[in-house]
Structure 1
Amino acid sequence: MIRKLLRNAGKVVIGVGLWPAVVLGQASAPIRPDSAAQHSAAPVASMPSVAGVWKGPLSIPGGTLPVQISIIQPGANKLIATLDLPAKRLNKVPASLTLRGDTLIFYAATVDCRFVCTQAGEAGQELRGVWSQPGLRVPLVLQRADPNGAGTVAVEKTAAVKATTYHIEAVRLTSQPGNVALAGTLSIPDGAGPFPAAMLLSDMGSQDRDSRQGSYRFFADIAATLARQGIAVLRLDDRGVGESSGNGPLATTADLMRDAQAGLSYLRIRPSIDPARTGLIGHGEGGNVALLAAAQPVPPGFVVTLAASGLVGLDLLASQAEPLSAADTARTGQARRQAWAEVLAKAAKLRTSGSNSAQVETYVAQQRLKIKSEERKQTEATLKFRRTMLEIVRQTASNDQAQAIVVNMLRQRYPDQDPALARARATDLLTPWYRYYLKFDPQPSLADVQCPVLLLNGTDDAEVNAATNLTALEKGLKGNKRVSARRLPGLNHWFQTPAAERIAAADGTVEPVVAPVLLTAVRDWVLQQGSR
């Protein structure tokens, strides 16, 4: 029955993606409010000077976040505190306040964080202590803000890299051949420079300059972080997206390399940018585009790849989950839930018929293994089907003939799917980009790459396997003595902080954010280039 339910779901495989977090660090146990039964607070009237607004920078991996605690004293023996974390859009979050001797303890249950501190400095104008939350435990100093102004924040020197301000400029340039107009944004540090610079190159598919996925703005966050640390960043709308002209599906990986070269040329003539320290940072296919550009006669000053492929295009694409409609996904989920419900119902019958706990547990464990085995078989069958379909596209020169074959294959495998979806899928597979990428092999050009290269991949990347692809890239680049490779634990294809390490917003939602470990790794490595 289990096999039948899963088979009737349309032989669908769901690609699983991980969605990330806000702060990284050593894991710590969840913090709980102090129990009033265990600790008796001293009268708050004994410390009236604590009332006011306190501000300071919270150190996190890769930078700082502004923190503000506001304390008011509505009565002789009462203090009320609220917490503001502007970067997380958390405002006026209620916080409990406990006084033990000269120690103040703030606890905000909404975000599960605690600040244990004492007043310090001249006339008690500072709160010094330790900020704790799941995944983070760091020293924190807050200063009393000027009651007549916005207040000032004294930033401790917690990072080796000095933060700076930056501004943004609209950019328009032309890629040849074809006079393709590309538009984007340059984030550039304030000051005379010359600054190191990088151009961001997006993954396959048409992306805007922010590489936006819902509320997640991968490239915008990278650009802001690097610009604050003295690195100029150029990011462009892909062809046919936003303010850029051209047609993305008609552009091949080689065309995208020429777009990258146009961006490099633009950056190198800017007077405030150091042309010798101007490079490319590419995500997914963008990483392969960057490596292609590095093999040309005028290479970039450096290359950073974020989940670049080391395999032939067909091999990479064949290992990924087949795109599914919402109906297909829902049908598969329903089949899985129904199969498990039947297992639980049978387990209940076993209990009522006199089976002991050990027998019931054995039955449930066996059925769980059967379900997993069946799902694994379905996954393998789908990947085999996908490879066969892509191989037909690669070997069939006629678009009409290839489309007819692909549509027929899709309709046979997914008989309940809307025929229009099968035709649209076949059309996508026959675009110039797709046909080119199926034959694209990143290996031959790697021997010509001699600039510094940083290879990064998340260990939880379901689209570009870190072990397989990083190993292949390292092998192809073995003649280059300036190559570094890192596997970043727990990160997915979009380098998002793991969900377990995120801070929830006031409404309980958790938005994906770029993992600080990625931002720090890129920043530190780029700043080292040309400084030896």
Structure 2
Amino acid sequence: MQLTITQPGTDELAATVEWSVKPRNRIPAVLSLRGDTLVFCVPAVEGRFVCVRTPDGEGLRGQWSQPGSRAPLALHLSPGLATPAAAQDKAAPASATTYHTEPVTLTSPAGNVRLAGILSVPDGRGPFPGALLLSDMGSHDRDARQGNYRLFAELAAFLASHGIAVLQLDDRGVGESTGNGSATTTADLVHDAQAGLSYLRVQPTVDPARTGLIGHGEGGNVALLAAAQPAPPGFVVTLAAAGVTGFDLLAHQAEPATPADTAQAGAARRQRWADVLDQVVKLRAKGSNAAQVETYVAQQRLKIKSEERKQAEATLEFRRTMLEIVRQTTNDDQAQAIVLNMLRQRHPGLDPTLARQRATQLTMPWCRYYLTFDPRPGLARVQCPVLLLHGTDDADVSVATNLPALEKGLRANKRVTAHRLPGINHWFQAAAAERGAEKEGAVTASPLVLSTITDWILLEAGR
């Protein structure tokens, strides 16, 4: 095989593929670059080469795949082979794979719960790689719907249109699934993941050796737990999985606030800076020079940051105390009464109904179990390929504390890839400035996230 890459324009790359058994039969290919990964799509033969450069920079190494077959492929750099005719060839426009959906019903052995969902399968001969999507903490439908945003619906559509079958399931007690979501623990979710994985592996259109788990938040930890047990998945992709204990993760998350609290905090912050600016005007009127004004502003900025840091520390201490009370008080009624009193004292304007709901949530079986959960002990047993993705703008699962802990726990696994994604939040959306002015219902996942997951699966799954 010969790949010829040319540059028809300043910001344009084109590629062609030629096989020695059919000389002078150059086929257009679509070339794209995803970080350090090169992806060549050859629509004419339904082929795809996902690769990276060799360490010496003199070759490409990766996986070649076509419907029904796949194989490792290594190419070596051969300068000067391109002919003038090859340089004139243009890459064909990318053509997405079509796919169809099928309704799914399966049974999870933990409580004999029926789980319902949808299977998206690429059109073609297959068998295709497969992935089960696992949602974050809380009860979610198969699309992981949050208002107008549907992370799993977008992810499933993108994966299926690029040759990967995807299974989405309603969580227990949501949509068409039975069971009680409020009584579900992380251990139950592992059983559900294993049931979904088993279902995927027996589908004739899915390759059982290339079937894995993609989990968001707690779903990522569920995927890693399943990978540490017998019959592990072929691969795991985690989106903001926790690397610290459940107690520490919940303690560092922001306490739910009312719109009035948020508005009051914002108004106070704006007033502080308004006072600073007023003082700047007075200093200038009294004859202060630019250096003196800059020094004053810098001092005030440090003072405000110090105050905000103290407030954050106080909030952390409050949450740790509240969660420790829940952990130590086994009687739900007693724990709820104490938590309710603490919330009322700290948030006097909090709606009584919301306060009771919060106290009830903290004493549910899931929360009690999660407060004792530690994701680290089982990581050493995970041997399948793992992709760890964390956004730098994630306010719920800090990349600074959680990703290093996961990498440390997985250090014995030589097939772990970790990415810190700049400007990406917990729901794997780009920063608002990058997304632009979005219309109602047009909230979307980051294209970088979707392509990174897809290309990694096609490159690593089943190696």
In the TM superposition, residue 418 of structure 1 has moved relative to its aligned partner by 2.7
Candidates 447, 452, 458, aligned match of 1:516: 447
Q: TM-score, normalised by structure 2?
A: 0.77
Distance 2:337 2:319 in 1: 16
Alignment partners' CA distance in 1, 2:308 and 2:461 = 51
- Distance in 1 of aligned mates of 2:402 and 2:294: 41
Aligned partner of 1:237 among 153, 159, 170 = 170
Shift of 1:342: 2.7
1:419 aligned residue = 352
Does structure 1 residue 526 correspond to structure 2 residue 457? yes
Match of 2:245 in 1: 312
Equivalent pair of 1:282/1:290 in contact (CA under 8 Å):
yes
Q: TM-score, normalised by structure 1?
A: 0.67
Find the aligned partners of 1:357 and 1:200 in 2 and give their Cα distance. Answer: 57
Give the alignment partner of residue 166 of structure 1, picking from 99, 113, 130: 99
| Structure 1 residue ranges (4+ consecutive) displaced by more than 6 angstroms after TM superposition | 57-63
Deviation for aligned residue 1:61: 6.5
| 1:328 counterpart residue number | 261
Partners of 2:154 and 2:228 in 1: CA distance: 28
- Give how far 1:195 is off: 0.7
After TM superposition, give the deviation of residue 319 of structure 1 in Å: 1.4
Q: Quick one: distance in 2 between partners of 1:484 and 1:58?
A: 23
| Matched-pair contact (CA < 8 Å) for 1:61–1:516 | no
The alignment yields a C-alpha RMSD, in angstroms, of 2.7
The one-letter code sitting in structure 1 at the alignment partner of 2:345 is Q
Residue 517 of structure 1: how far off its partner (Å): 2.1
Q: Which moved more, 1:445-454 or 1:280-289?
A: 445-454
What count of residue pairs does the alignment treat as equivalent? 384
SS of alignment partner, residue 447 of structure 1: helix
Residues in 2 aligned to 1:399 and 1:502: alpha-carbon distance in whole angstroms? 44
Deviation larger for 233-242 or 473-482:
473-482
Q: In the TM superposition, what are the counterparts of 1:277-296 in structure 2 within 5 Å?
A: 277-296=210-229
Residues 210-269 of structure 1 show CA distances to partners (whole Å, capped at 9, x for unaligned) of 112222221111111110111000111111222222222210001111111111111111
Shift of 1:292: 0.9
Q: Which residue of 1 aligns with 2:410?
A: 477
Structure 1 position 435 matched with structure 2 position 368: yes
Deviation at 1:360, TM superposition (A): 4.2
Does the alignment pair 1:222 with 2:166? Answer: no
**Structure with bigger gyration radius:** 1
- Identify which of 200, 206, 212 aligns with 1:267: 200
Q: What is aligned with 1:73?
A: none
Query: Is 1:454 aligned to residue 369 of structure 2?
Result: no
Cα gap change, 1:207/1:427 in structure 2, threshold over 3 Å: closer, same or farther?
same
Secondary structure at the aligned position of 1:310 is classed as coil
- Matched with 1:489 is 422
3-state secondary structure, aligned to 2:381: coil
Q: CA deviation at 1:306?
A: 1.0
Q: 8 Å contact 2:98–2:161 — kept in the other structure? A: yes
SS at 1:443 equivalent: coil
Is the 8 Å Cα contact of residues 197 and 232 (structure 1) preserved in structure 2? Answer: yes
Could you tell me which amino acid in structure 1 is paired with residue 369 of structure 2?
Y
Name the CA shift for 1:302/1:58 in 2 (closer, same or farther; >3 Å).
Answer: closer
SS state at 2:390 partner: strand
**Displacement of 1:344 after TM fit?**
2.8
Give 1:44's aligned residue. Answer: none
- Give the 5 Å matches for 1:39-438: 156-157=91-92, 163-353=96-286, 355-438=288-371
Deviation at 1:386, TM superposition (A): 0.7
Equivalent position of 1:131 in the other structure: none
Q: Percent identity?
A: 70
Counterpart of 2:400?
A: 467
Cα distance between partner residues in 2 of 1:530 and 1:300: 10
Partner amino acid, structure 1, of 2:206: I
**Retained in 1: the 8 A contact 2:148–2:441?**
no
- Deviation of 1:290 (Å): 0.5
1:365–1:448 distance in 2 versus 1, CA, 3 Å: closer
Structure 1 residues 339 and 467, CA gap change in structure 2 (3 angstroms): closer
CA contact (8 A) 2:234 2:462 kept: no
Structure with larger RCO (C-alpha < 8 A, sep 6+): 1
The answer for unaligned runs of 5 or more in structure 2 is 1-10, 12-29, 40-89
1:343 and 1:398 mapped to 2: Cα distance? 50
Looking at structure 1, the residues matched to 313 and 101 of structure 2 have their Cα atoms a distance apart, in angstroms, of 48
Whichever residue aligns with residue 256 of structure 1, its letter is L
Q: Confirm or deny: 8 A CA contact 2:185 2:365 kept in the other structure.
A: yes
